[in-house]
Homo-oligomer: A and B are copies of this chain.
Amino acid sequence: MSGMKVEIIAIGDELTSGRILNTTSSYAARQLFEAGYEIHAMHTIGDTPELIGEALKSAISEVDAVLVTGGLGSTDDDLTNEAVSKALNRPTLPNLEVLSIVRTHLDEISPAHVGQLEKLAWLPEGAEVLNPQSCMAGYQLIHDQKPIFFLPGIPSQMKQLLREHVLPRLATWHKDHYLTTYQRLFKIFNLPESEVNRRISTLDLSGDAHIGYYPVFPEVHLSLIIRDKQDSSAEKLFISSCKAINTVLGDAIYGYDRDCMESVTGGLLQRAGRRLAVAESCTGGLIAEKLTAIAGSSNYFLGGVVAYANDLKTQFLDVPADLLKAHGAVSRETAEAMAGGIRNRTGADIGLSVTGVAGPGGGSAEKPVGTVYIGIATTEGTWATHFLFSGDRQQIREMTAQSGLDLVRKYLLQTTGT
C-alpha cells in the first residue's frame, strides 16, 4: 500500500536561470514527505505558458495531487493563471473576494497600477481562494477529481499557505490514501558508504523498512523510513529497525536527524562540564569556526590559536623551536606539543590540535599531501593520531576538522560514559 502521490511544479525564469535558488520546492517536498505523501517528481520551468500547461497536464495524468508555485503576481511576466486557463480550458473570471480586497488597497495605489493589481483577482474558473482574508495569492482547483494547489513563489507566503491551508486540505482528502511515516536520519562519520551498505545488508530488515544512503561529504547519512499501516506494527518495526542499525554501525553513528558533529561534540562537552581549546595549523580556524557557529558554545569552548606560521606555534603554544626543527611542523611530536600548549595556556580541560599538509603544494615523499596529525591533551595525558586523507585542499581541511571533533567526541564517550 503506497501513499498519495504528489508532484511539485515551480515556475519562474529566475529559477531556470539559476539566479535564485529554488528553496520552496525542497521545503514543500519535505513537508509533504513528512506528512506521509510520496513526491513523484519536482519540476522547475520558466514563465512560459506552453511549458506550464504541458507540465500541469502531465502531472494531473500521473499523480493524485499537484502543487504549483510561482507566477501568480501582478507583473507582466506572471503567466501562471493564463497558462492554467488555456491548459485546463477554464476561462479566467474575476474573483469577487480577491477583487474587493484588492480594491480596498486601491486608494493607497496610483491609478496607473489599478488594472495591474486587479490582474490578481482574475482566476481560472472554479478557483477557490485559499485564504480569502489575506491579499496573498493562492488558490485550489479540483480537476479530474484531483486537488491542484497554486501558491505564490515568495517563500514566506508559500510556506505559510502550505502549512496552514494546503496540508490541512490534503489531510482530509482521500483519507484512505493517507499514511503517517516514521523516519530517522542516521548521521555517520568515518565509515565509507560501501561499508555502511555492507553492514546494513547483513541485517534482515523488513521490506517495509525503506533504507536510503546519502553521502554528504565528509559524512554518510542513512535514512530509515517506515510508513504506517493503520495498525501498531509500523511503530514496533521502526523501533526494532533503529535498534538493529545502531548495533551494526555503533559509534560510527555520531548523531541523528538535525544533529551535526559540532553540535554533538559540543553537547557532550556541555554535559560533561569540560572546556575545550584548539590549536589549528592546516585547518586554519575551521574547527573553531564550526564550534562557534553553535549558539551557546562559549559555555564549553574557550577559543584557540591558528598557528599557521611556525613562529606562532612557539610564541602562542610553547612548541620548542628545536622540536619543530627536529621533527618538522607536520609530525606527531608537534601535534602533541601544540595540544599540550593550548591546554596549558588556556586552562582548558581538553586541548585539541591539528597539523598537516592540506596541499596542493607542500607535500613530500615521507609526508605527502593529506598527511595530518591530530593531537589531544587531557588530564589522562597527551597523544596524537596520524591520518592520510585524500581529496583537494578543502576536502582535506574538512576531513581534518571533522576528525578532530570526532576524536574529542569519542574521548568524551569513553571517559564520561554519556
A: which residues have CB within 8 A of B? 12-23, 25-33, 39-47, 51, 55, 73-77, 109, 112-113, 116-117, 154, 156, 185, 193-195, 197-198, 201, 211-217, 221, 223, 278, 280, 283-289, 291-293, 295-298, 301-309, 311-312, 315-316, 345-347, 359-361, 392-395, 397
CB of A153, distance to nearest CB on chain B (Å): 8
**A301 to B39 alpha-carbon distance, docked (Å):** 47
Complex contacts, A19 vs chain B, CB 8 Å: 30, 33, 185, 212-214, 221, 223
Q: Are A154 and B302 in contact (CB under 8 A)?
A: no
Q: A75-B194, A116-B194, A285-B289 are in contact. Are A16 and B43 (CB under 8 A)?
A: no
**A193 to B154 alpha-carbon distance, docked (Å):** 13
**A69 to B215 alpha-carbon distance, docked (Å):** 14
Complex contacts, A198 vs chain B, CB 8 Å: 112-113, 116
DSSP majority for the A interface?
Answer: mixed
Q: Are A41 and B45 in contact (CB under 8 A)?
A: yes
CB<8 Å pairs between A and B, sample of 5: A18-B27, A42-B45, A44-B44, A77-B212, A303-B309
Q: Are A154 and B215 in contact (CB under 8 A)?
A: yes
Q: Are B76 and A197 in contact (CB under 8 A)?
A: yes
Q: A26-B15, A154-B215 are in contact. Are A197 and B116 (CB under 8 A)?
A: yes
CB of A373, distance to nearest CB on chain B (Å): 17
**A140 to B197 alpha-carbon distance, docked (Å):** 28
Complex contacts, A32 vs chain B, CB 8 Å: 18
Q: Are B304 and A194 in contact (CB under 8 A)?
A: no
Q: Are A303 and B312 in contact (CB under 8 A)?
A: yes
12 extra A-B contacts, CB within 8 A, seeds A75-B197, A292-B308 = A12-B214, A15-B42, A19-B33, A74-B193, A75-B213, A117-B194, A156-B217, A156-B392, A284-B291, A293-B394, A302-B308, A306-B306
Name which residue of chain B comes closest to A47, CB basis: B212
Q: Are A306 and B292 in contact (CB under 8 A)?
A: yes
Q: Are A17 and B30 in contact (CB under 8 A)?
A: yes
Complex contacts, A303 vs chain B, CB 8 Å: 284, 305-309, 312
- A288 partner, pick from B17, B40, B116, B285, beta carbons under 8 A: B285
**A297 to B358 alpha-carbon distance, docked (Å):** 12
Q: Are A41 and B18 in contact (CB under 8 A)?
A: no
Name which residue of chain B comes closest to A391, CB basis: B156
Complex contacts, A47 vs chain B, CB 8 Å: 212
Complex contacts, A41 vs chain B, CB 8 Å: 16, 43-46, 51, 55
Q: A291-B284, A293-B284 are in contact. Are A217 and B393 (CB under 8 A)?
A: no
Q: Are B311 and A393 in contact (CB under 8 A)?
A: no
Q: Are A21 and B14 in contact (CB under 8 A)?
A: no
**A308 to B286 alpha-carbon distance, docked (Å):** 14
Q: Are B51 and A40 in contact (CB under 8 A)?
A: yes
Closest 7 CB pairs of A and B: A284-B292, A18-B30, A285-B285, A285-B288, A18-B29, A303-B308, A285-B289
CB of A2, distance to nearest CB on chain B (Å): 12
Q: A73-B215, A197-B75, A284-B292 are in contact. Are A18 and B33 (CB under 8 A)?
A: yes
**A17 to B311 alpha-carbon distance, docked (Å):** 50
**A111 to B309 alpha-carbon distance, docked (Å):** 43
**A156 to B397 alpha-carbon distance, docked (Å):** 14
Complex contacts, A298 vs chain B, CB 8 Å: 308-309
Q: A305-B303, A309-B303, A311-B347 are in contact. Are A16 and B39 (CB under 8 A)?
A: yes
Complex contacts, A297 vs chain B, CB 8 Å: 284, 308
CB of A397, distance to nearest CB on chain B (Å): 7
Q: Are A295 and B360 in contact (CB under 8 A)?
A: yes
CB of A190, distance to nearest CB on chain B (Å): 15
**A75 to B22 alpha-carbon distance, docked (Å):** 28
